[in-house]
Amino acid sequence: MAAETAQALSSGGADQRPRHVAIIMDGNGRWATERGWPRLVGHRRGAERVKQIVQACPDLGVNWLTVYAFSTENWKRSTEEVLGLMRIFRRYIEREAESLSAEGVRLRFIGGRDRLDAKLQQLMSSIEARTAGNSLLNLTVAINYGGRDELARAAGRLAQKVARGEVGAVGEDDLAACLDTAGHPDPDLVIRTSGETRTSNFLPWQAAYSEYEFTPTLWPDFTPDHMAAILDRFGLRERRFGGV
């Protein structure tokens, strides 16, 4: 661990580390464009950064990490970029399957899978099964994910349960149990890189009481030391959840 990371961990607020951190990984294309490179170069560098952050999480006290990889709106991008991103996803899963399993990482995916190609869906299911027994870090990747889409699909599942008589008076817990993230703790902290200050349809239900941090750092430049500093600031926040 770098000296700066160690220093951040030892400073004030370390007793209030977030258990679950969610990240909107923004700025890959801009990072590449600023250097005169194709946008996909930035996406590849961003995938490498995911690996570094995943490896740093246990030392940072993070047990759950959810990353926003591809939204339901990202299909609007050029065909070349979308196909390139799907290739990057496949390569990441293929290359990291062994190391993630060995390092005790459990990998899961949220989002609609029906629009993804069959090969990618098969790889996703395979690594989920392979890492199901791991618990050092719970890594969730949101791919073809949109919060409104998730809520609509969850409402459909809940309606079917009501129709079958499995649910009576519908409450919050009933809907939460139908979300893609059923069984996951809500994120304590949501980080968005690249300087944008919007949530972009990411975990609207789950992040209702999350703390937010918006950083100007582009995702390919976001290091474990950046994350450690944000976690340290999180420890100084007072979270009242509507109370006094």
Q: Could you give the residue numbers annotated as active site?
A: 26, 74
Predicted local distance difference test score (pLDDT) of residue 4: 38
pLDDT digits (tens, 9 = 90+) for 109-156: 999 999 999 999 999 999 999 999 999 999 999 999 999 999 999 999
b/e map 106-132, b = 16+ CB within 10 Å: bbbbbbbeeebeeebeebbeebeeebe
- How much is the mean pLDDT over the chain? 92
Give the pLDDT of residue 5: 37
The side-by-side arrangement of strands in the sheet containing 20-24 is: 105-110, 137-145, 64-71, 20-24, 189-192, 211-214
User: Which candidate, 164, 153, 95, places its Cα nearest to that of 127?
Assistant: 95
Whether residue 73 is annotated as binding a ligand: the answer is yes
pLDDT digits (tens, 9 = 90+) for 65-91: 999 999 999 999 999 999 999 999 999
The answer to whether 200 is annotated as binding is: yes
How far is residue 205's CA from residue 153's CA, in Å, rounded to a whole number? 13
- Residues 156-188 have pLDDT tens digits of 999 999 999 999 899 999 999 999 999 999 999
Residue 85: partners with Cβ closer than 8 Å, 6 or more residues away: 40, 43, 70, 74
- CA-nearest of 16, 59, 32 to 227 is 59
Tell me: pLDDT of 1 over 50: no
Q: How many CB atoms lie within 10 A of CB 191?
A: 27
Pairwise CA distance, residues 171 & 163, whole Å: 15
Instruction: Check the annotation: does 195 bind a ligand.
Output: no
What topology does CATH give the domain 18-145+187-234? Undecaprenyl pyrophosphate synthetase (3.40.1180)
pLDDT at 28 over 90: yes
pLDDT > 90 in the chain, percent: 86
226 is in an annotated binding site: no
Given a cut of 70, whether residue 244 has pLDDT beyond it is no
Q: Is the pTM of this model over 0.85?
A: yes
